[in-house]
Amino acid sequence: MSEAFDTVDIIRTKRDRGELSPQQIAWVIDAYTHGVVADEQMAALAMAILLNGMSRREISDWTGAMIASGERMDFSSLSRPTADKHSTGGVGDKITLPLAPLVAACGVAVPQLSGRGLGHTGGTLDKLEAIPGWRAALSNEEMLDQLEDVGAVICAAGSGLAPADKRLYSLRDVTGTVEAIPLIASSIMSKKIAEGTGVLVLDVKVGSGAFMKTQADARELAETMVALGQDAGVHTVALLTDMSTPLGLTAGNGLEVRESVEVLAGGGPQDVIDLTLALAREMLAGAGVTDVDPADALQDGRAMDVWRAMIQAQDGDPDAPLPTAKETEEIVASADGVLTRLDAFAVGVSAWRLGAGRARKEDRVQAAAGIELHAKPGDTVTKGQPLMTLHTDTPGRFGRALEALEGSWSIGAASELTAPGSIVIDHVR
Ligand code: URA
């Protein structure tokens, strides 16, 4: 590839708060994908973008260039509409597991291309791999067949989808540039638009356990992504949801599968049920299905039937016992009162240190490691009652996992509660 632009010029433009032209953006993404622009040059550009931002037009061109770096999928041959959900990631966020079969049970196909966890947030594929036999890698043909037959598929994104993002995301991960809103928005939306879904519902998390720590940042990210989706002809809405405390009562792969199955069986924690139903309603409405109440499909077993078929179609055994950890340790309440705070980030880091997550891409995760919560903010607790159980196969990990939890919870009066009352904070359309 010839050097149509001078890479250093492009970096200087962004460094000096200038705007990149559509041609410069198309060239730099293509050249980076093909190794013409070096990692150190892209790292400098990513840092300039993190510090100085991008206009909406630049973000749209950047997203388009990342889509153009790879293949686009096409679900138009399916007999039903498609809807997908994307979460910006949080602690205990197992919602994809009950949501995909639930929406499929209501007549809308769900192609859910998912990833693995890195750092303190878990990955959907790591969770499902706790189920004996389950396989994440599917060919495009297998995926289409499963969508037609079962209605829902959760699998690994193939390497053909937005390859520019794969390179750039790994680079951002090691250069302190993950948190740039233009880069997060274009990274997520390039993959979702290339995937070819008709409807996209975004779950943008806010709070200590999320990328976005403030509502203002989360709203800006949500508005940017909704605009990108709508410009690309994808019906896109976003929910801002609370991630100041973990979602549900579990964080860790097998533990989260167990809790998801409880929800599919008509039980489970209320915040997980509420968020699953809120996202399902948005996905169904976007696809034009307004005469079905997803709450019924959770209660009457239809969602569970699709879950079982979805797991079996990918060689998993939905009846096999989930792995259990070799060792557990309990943390107990130090006083009587109300649990007023339980920090999501601390629980995420602790579960990660127990073996539920990985520090490097090559690391293996423990299927049974993680944290089970026995109380959530707002619950009354009594001195000595268990607050959390830590699970791991390697007891040497307990020390650093306990350290991560120091100062992460408070017991006091109900008036000191800090979490918002409802899991869904706002909608962005
Ligand atoms: N998830 C992504 O896919 N990309 C980001 O940049 C952040 C979260």
Averaged pLDDT in 10-residue chunks for the chain of 429 residues:
83 98 97 96 98 98 97 93 95 97 98 82 92 96 96 91 92 89 96 94 96 95 97 96 97 98 98 98 97 97 98 98 98 97 97 90 90 97 98 98 98 86 92
Residues 323 and 129 sit within 8 Å (Cβ to Cβ) = no
Q: Ligand 1: which of 187, 195, 204, 224 to mutate, most ligand atoms within 8 Å of CB?
A: 187
pLDDT recorded at residue 110: 97
Unique residue bearing structure tokens 């699970």: 391
Alpha-carbon span 29 to 36, nearest angstrom: 10
Structure tokens at 12: 């200087």
Distance 296 CA to ligand 1 centre (A): 33
Residue whose CA is at the smallest distance from ligand 1 atom 3: 188
List C-alpha distances in Å: 149 to 110, 114, 153, 203: 12, 20, 10, 27
* pLDDT tens digits, one per residue of 138-177: 999 999 999 999 999 999 988 889 999 989 988 998 899 9
CA nearest ligand 1 atom 7, residue: 184
Concatenate the DSSP letters of all residues of 225-278 into one string.
Answer: HHHHHHHTT-EEEEEEEE-SS-STTEESHHHHHHHHHHHHTT-S-HHHHHHHHH
The tokens of 388 are what?
A: 């959390």
Strand order in the sheet with 386-392: 250-251, 370-373, 386-392, 327-332
Q: What DSSP element (H or E) covers 411? A: strand 409-412
3-state SS class at 350? helix
Q: How far is the CA of 184 from the centre of ligand 1 (A)?
A: 5
Q: What are the DSSP calls for 74-140, one per residue? A: --TTSSS-BEEEEE---TT--THHHHHHHHHHTT-BEEEEE---BTTB--HHHHHTTSTT------H
Other Cβ atoms closer than 10 A to 183:
21
Q: How far is CA 380 from CA 92, 249, 310, 341, 389, in A?
A: 22, 15, 39, 12, 18
Cβ–Cβ < 8 Å for 370, 252: yes
CA–centroid distance, residue 59 to ligand 1 (Å): 14
Between the alpha carbon of residue 71 and those of residues 21, 162, 196, the distances in Å are: 24, 7, 10
User: CA 427, CA 205: separation in Å to the nearest integer?
Assistant: 12
Instruction: Report the side by side order of strands in the sheet with 337-342.
Output: 380-381, 337-342, 409-412
* Catalytic machinery residues: 86, 165, 172, 187, 191
Is 382 strand, coil or helix? Answer: coil
Q: Can you tell me the distance from the alpha carbon of 344 to that of 332, in angstroms, rounded to the nearest whole number? A: 18
* Whether residue 398 has its Cβ less than 6 Å from ligand 1: no
Which residues does 361 contact at the CB level (< 8 Å), separation at least 6? 116, 118, 170
- Decide if 240 contacts 216 (C-beta within 8 A): no
Tokens representing 120 are: 């303190």
Check if 188 has its Cβ closer than 6 Å to any atom of ligand 1: yes
Compute, in angstroms, the gap from residue 360 CA to the centroid of ligand 1: 16
pLDDT at 3: 63
- What pairs with residue 427 in β-bridges? 239
Q: Distance between CA 202 and CA 210 in Å, rounded?
A: 14
Q: Return the pLDDT at 118.
A: 65
- Looking at residue 116, its pLDDT comes to 82
Q: Which amino acid is at 324?
A: T
Tell me if 263 sits within 8 A of 298, measured CB to CB: yes
